[in-house]
Amino acid sequence: MKIISTSFLILVSLFSHCQEISKVQPFLPEIISKFPTVRDITISPWQDEIYFTAQGYSGELSTIIKIVKKGNQWSTPEVAPFSGQYRDLEAMFSPDGLKLYYVSTRPLDNQSTEAKDHDIWYIERSSKTAKWSKPKNLGSPINTKDDEFYPSVAKNGNLYFTSTASTSKGKDDIFMSSKKNNQYTKPVSLTSTINSEGYEYNAYVAPDESFLLFGGYKRNDGLGSGDIYISYKNKDGDWEQAKNLTKEVNSDKMDYCPFYDIKTQTLYFTSKRTALKKQLNQPKTIKQLLEMMNSYENGLSRIYAIPIKF
């Protein structure tokens, strides 16, 4: 792939595992732009099924949307069958595509209508073409009286997620729970190479656990707001010091919710980046102003994609 800027060399020097990078581009703008804001995305292993979260301008509504590929076209967006009533967000496929994890405030049973805190739920199916099960709460020890967010699971079943638990090193932390004998172990906060006294969130783990992508808020090496970081697991099984993905991926606005498609080697993420300027070089008409305000890169949460090999 052609190198597009000298900053590519800087990026490679920061994490030598990364070999190729291109430009960040809007993803499915004709679909994403239908919604006020969109904040996360997951794609099936077969690249034919997408779930993403649509929210109101201030996040007051949160619903998981589904689209499927028919031929070479994506279908009209529909509310996912398990969503639409409670606050749902952050869907994530398992590596085999047979489970879909997500976050919800839905009640634990049908006898109650009172929303609870954010828990991790999942649906499952026996094959690619089988119907999804009814939603199931992941239960203890993953879900607690605190909030749990952004589930991501490796091939071996190990679960990574964000939690506001009191055992965190700071604000929100990224936790991991190993799956042993078909049971989840007590979640532990990842080491200080990942977590800090600030906010860490939205962790995506590679299926083989070789690397971890996550969000870090206003770190010393950040670009101004939330940035996406990467950490690789070394030969001893420890997570290396996380590194910022630099301005080739991140902006000076909020960048978060990473998802990596292993097969296509594409990084997807949410960003509030904007191309709008505070001052224009000449007066604009109403039509021109509205075109600018309604452009894709206008500061609202949108989904972006970049081909990159980790």
At 117-150, the pLDDT tens digits run 999 999 999 999 999 999 999 999 999 999 999 9
pLDDT along the chain (310 residues), means of 10: 38 46 88 96 97 93 96 95 96 98 91 81 96 96 94 97 85 94 94 95 98 96 96 96 96 97 97 91 92 93 96
pLDDT of 258: 98
pLDDT score of 22: 64
CB 158 within 8 A of CB 144: no
C-alpha pair distances (Å), 261 with each of 26, 45, 221, 270? 16, 8, 26, 15
pLDDT at 119: 96
Tell me the domains of the chain and their CATH numbers: 24-297 (2.120.10)
Spatial separation of the C-alpha atoms in residues 232 and 234, rounded to whole Å: 6
Query: Does residue 310 contact residue 11 with C-beta atoms inside 8 Å?
Result: no
SS (H, E, C) the chain: CCCCCCHHHHHHHHCCCCCEECCCEECCHHHHCCCCEEEEEEECCCCCEEEEEEECCCCCCEEEEEEEEECCEECCCEECCCCCCCCEEEEEECCCCCEEEEEECCCCCCCCCCCCCCEEEEEECCCCCCCCCCCEECCCCCCCCCCEEEEEECCCCCEEEEECCCCCCCCCEEEEECEECCEECCCEECCCCCCCCCCEEEEEECCCCCEEEEEEECCCCCCCCEEEEEEEECCCCCECCCEECCCCCCCCCCEEEEEEECCCCEEEEEECCECCCCCCCCCCCHHHHHHHHCCCCECCCEEEEEEEEC
Amino acid (one-letter) located at 242: A
The pLDDT score that the predictor gives to residue 166 is 75
